[in-house]
Amino acid sequence: MNKKRSSKNMATCASEVLRSNESSKIQKSLAASVLSQSDPNKVTGSAMESKAAKVLNSDKYSETTKSLAASVLSQSDKKR
């Protein structure tokens, strides 16, 4: 069981990203992961962790995308 959950602000941001036609595929993917973390039985997978890490290490992504990526990584409950 994962004790880490998405904050209310991040969940709201993720919801807005998923509803927007302007959002990129990477934003929607990260947003879905952020929202899934509201369930304590969900744990961030290694593929999503890798994707989020690449976003954070790149200069080409927006602040919103980087915030979602940071949230995904902060919810990781496993040592990889």
The pLDDT, as a whole number, for residue 3 is 62
The pLDDT, as a whole number, for residue 16 is 96
What is the value of pTM for the model shown? Answer: 0.85
Query: Which tokens is 15 given?
Result: 């919801």
The pLDDT, as a whole number, for residue 4 is 65
Give the span between the Cα atoms of 6 and 57, in whole angstroms: 22
The pLDDT, as a whole number, for residue 41 is 73
Give the span between the Cα atoms of 37 and 72, in whole angstroms: 8
Query: Which tokens is 27 given?
Result: 């934003």
Give the span between the Cα atoms of 26 and 57, in whole angstroms: 14
Q: What is the pLDDT along the chain (80 residues), one digit of tens a residue?
A: 556 667 778 889 999 999 999 999 999 999 999 988 877 677 788 899 999 999 999 999 999 999 999 999 888 766 65
